[in-house]
Structure 1
Amino acid sequence: MTRRPSPPRRSGRPTGGQPGGKSAGRRVAGRLRIIGGDYRRRLLPVLDSPGLRPTPDRVRETLFNWLAAALPGARVLDLFAGTGALGLEALSRGAGDATFVERDARVAGQLGENLATLGAMERGRVVTADATAFLAGPPTPCSLVFLDPPFRQGLAEPCCAALEAGWLAEDAFIYLECEAGLTPVVPATWRLHREVRAGDSHGRLYRRATTPQSN
């Protein structure tokens, strides 16, 4: 799931959508390329929307190399989904299902259409909602979560804390992308597994453990 000026960017994604509408009447700014798996090399429209752009190919390739063993059958939650670059890549590489949470109805509608284009509607669900409001609802444990909130809005830490309220499987992976220079406070049960930097963003992959980390 390169940063924005104002409004805050969302790694290929603004914030949290139900499929709807047609692409006609929406300005397409570019294409998202799936880089591996069943949908490899498929190109999907990316809307012309402030701050919206896919997570760079190099970062996605690195991240999904790290996650290769965890993807088959994974239950995925893609928060602040935007283009859905990370969730779609996970589906392409064998994830069992994915829920995409996107606040912007236009962006969510395009994401739903892209799922249909890939023939992935049975495994992908788009929810039009603010991510923080979504996390306040009834949880479903997930084995892989992508969290890429808008920069400089103070959303990373509250969302990380909210995920601990039943949204994470015991040994879940959590990928958090935020602005460079920010070291977010995460739950004590999360262990830093890998990290990657690109431009003014810093991506951290955590693995949830059964016991809190000792100081």
Structure 2
Amino acid sequence: MRIIGGARRGLKLADVGAGDASAHLRPTADRVREAIFNLILNGGYGDPVGGARVLDLFAGTGALGLEALSRGAARVAFVDDGATARALLRRNIELMQAMGTTDVWRRDATRLGQNRGPGYGLVFLDPPYGKGLGEAALTSAVQGGWLAPAALVVWEEGSPPAVPEGFEVLDQRRYGDTVVTILRGPS
């Protein structure tokens, strides 16, 4: 796994290794990550990455949020409740030398609670496939004030997801066993 674009292009991230089966780690493949960033940067959405506050839910290794940092995001908040994932994530943040522009929160993404800061304009959502966790996480993010008005959401799932009310589907593409859905959040 490598950073594929931006200032830290080519940086090798920590190996997932055998991992922990209970951690459900399924890092976004480099080619899918590249396709995601091509979609959001060239899809007519302006530049949703440059200077953005990014929320990476079910962050796992943090590859999506770290890619956004490499491409000019201002700050990334990573949310994951798995110990294995957070250890890999912290190692990847060290490799990126991004300690001052990241937050790592041990939290259940489906029960975020109230956000105490400004909302996030770009959200990456990569839950374990087929469990309905993405829907619950987005609902929690809206209820807790985590999203900036009209936030762009990039959602990875195994099949087309059930999009919560108030979100507009902007694009949807399949890459192997991954369906990437781009949403616009409520205004």
Give the aligned partner of residue 156 of structure 2. Answer: 177
- Structure 2 residues without counterparts, runs of 5 or longer: 42-46
Give the aligned partner of residue 168 of structure 1. Answer: 147
CA distance in 2, matches of 1:137, 1:170: 16
**Amino acid of the residue matched to residue 146 of structure 1?**
F
- Give the structure with the larger strand fraction: 1
Give the aligned partner of residue 135 of structure 2. Answer: 157
The 5-angstrom pairing of residues 10-29 of structure 1 reads none
> Are residue 208 (structure 1) and residue 185 (structure 2) matched?
yes
Give the aligned partner of residue 113 of structure 1. Answer: 91
CA distance in 2, matches of 1:66, 1:117: 26
**Amino acid of the residue matched to residue 179 of structure 1?**
G
Give the aligned partner of residue 64 of structure 1. Answer: 37
Q: Is the 8 A contact 1:34 1:40 kept in 2?
A: yes
Kindly state the Cα deviation for residue 46 of structure 1 after the two structures are TM-superposed.
Answer: 2.6
**Amino acid of the residue matched to residue 171 of structure 2?**
R
The Cα offsets for residues 178-212 of structure 1, whole Å up to 9 and x where unpaired, read as 122x4413222x221222212222110112253xx
CA distance in 2, matches of 1:128, 1:164: 19
The 5-angstrom pairing of residues 21-60 of structure 1 reads 32-47=1-16, 48-49=18-19, 50=21, 51-60=24-33
Q: Which runs of 4+ in 1 moved over 6 A?
A: none
Q: Aligned-pair RMSD on alpha carbons?
A: 1.6
Cα 1:183/1:108, change in 2 over 3 Å = closer
The Cα offsets for residues 93-140 of structure 1, whole Å up to 9 and x where unpaired, read as 00000011111113202211211121111001111222223x123354
Q: Is the 8 A contact 2:62 2:92 kept in 1?
A: no
CA distance in 2, matches of 1:70, 1:185: 21
**Amino acid of the residue matched to residue 156 of structure 1?**
G
- Count of residue pairs brought into register by the alignment: 176
Q: Is the 8 A contact 1:76 1:87 kept in 2?
A: yes
CA distance in 2, matches of 1:193, 1:178: 16
Give the aligned partner of residue 52 of structure 2. Answer: 74
The TM-score, its normalising length taken from structure 2, stands at 0.86
The Cα offsets for residues 132-180 of structure 1, whole Å up to 9 and x where unpaired, read as 23x1233541001111111222212221212212111112101111122
Q: Is the 8 A contact 1:59 1:196 kept in 2?
A: no
Kindly state the Cα deviation for residue 65 of structure 1 after the two structures are TM-superposed.
Answer: 1.8
Q: Is the 8 A contact 2:80 2:105 kept in 1?
A: yes
- Structure 1 residues without counterparts, runs of 5 or longer: 1-31, 211-215
Identity %: 42
Q: Secondary structure at the match of 1:196?
A: strand
CA distance in 2, matches of 1:42, 1:83: 14
CA distance in 2, matches of 1:203, 1:110: 24
- Give the structure with the larger helix fraction: 2
Give the aligned partner of residue 23 of structure 1. Answer: none
CA distance in 2, matches of 1:121, 1:207: 29
